[in-house]
């Protein structure tokens, strides 16, 4: 049996950044841009007052306690993102067939991967900016979720199936993240 208690987590909003919570939507504005995210749960309350973002629940179950921490982490990531954007770096690795990468709208086109005739495609989410420098990629966004999911989409697009992964190690991989 779990003990039901009150759980609260607070995050201070630094100077130069404004936060507003209205109709279940948290909006954080900073020098890099604006991020919005919807937070709704009938038993969890989020408030913004006196330069602090507070997430709390009363008589919490284990799932609600975990959700309070998750919401607070999302708010922290939003505050960090509007101060300084998140940067992921990726590198194309190949043994024989050189990989050609191009941007087309909100997709990364990967050509000649393992000598395949048909190009592979990876979607680029939201406001993520992708820069191609030779065989290296740089992904930059103020949203940690968008840049992380874009990197995952690129890695997943170059996943090799039905071959021995010890021999075929070609792909596009994350080399650093969150700088």
Distance CA 25, CA 131 (A): 31
pLDDT value for 3 = 56
Show Cβ contacts of residue 177 under 8 Å, excluding neighbours closer than 6 positions. 86, 87, 88, 89, 148, 151
Encode the chain (179 residues) as per-residue pLDDT tens digits. Answer: 455 567 888 889 999 999 999 999 999 999 999 999 999 999 999 999 989 999 999 888 889 999 999 999 999 999 999 999 999 999 999 998 999 999 999 999 999 999 999 999 999 999 999 999 999 999 999 999 999 999 999 999 999 999 898 888 999 999 999 77
**Whole-model pTM above 0.75?**
yes
- Residue listed under structure tokens 């038993």: 43
Show the domains of the chain with their CATH numbers. 5-83 (3.90.930.12), 86-177 (3.90.930.12)
Q: DSSP states of 17-64 as a string?
A: -EEEEETTEEEEEETTEEEEEE---TTEEEEEETTEEEEEEEEE-HHH
pLDDT value for 2 = 52
């Amino acid at each position: 049996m779990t003990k039901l208690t009150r759980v609260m987590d607070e995050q201070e909003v630094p100077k130069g950044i404004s936060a507003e919570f209205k109709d279940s939507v948290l909006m954080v504005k900073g020098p890099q841009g604006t991020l919005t995210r919807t937070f709704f749960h009938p038993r969890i309350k989020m408030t913004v007052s006196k330069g602090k973002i507070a997430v709390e629940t009363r008589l919490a179950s284990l799932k609600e306690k975990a959700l309070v921490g998750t919401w607070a982490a999302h708010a922290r990531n939003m505050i960090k993102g509007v101060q300084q954007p998140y940067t992921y770096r990726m590198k194309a690795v190949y043994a024989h067939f050189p990989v050609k990468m191009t941007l087309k709208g909100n997709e990364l086109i990967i050509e000649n991967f393992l000598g395949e005739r048909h190009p592979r495609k990876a979607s680029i989410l939201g406001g993520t900016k992708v820069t191609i420098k030779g065989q290296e990629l740089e992904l930059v966004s103020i949203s940690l979720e968008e840049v992380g999911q874009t990197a995952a989409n690129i890695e997943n697009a170059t996943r090799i199936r039905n071959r021995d992964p010890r021999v075929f190690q070609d792909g596009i991989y994350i080399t650093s993240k969150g700088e």
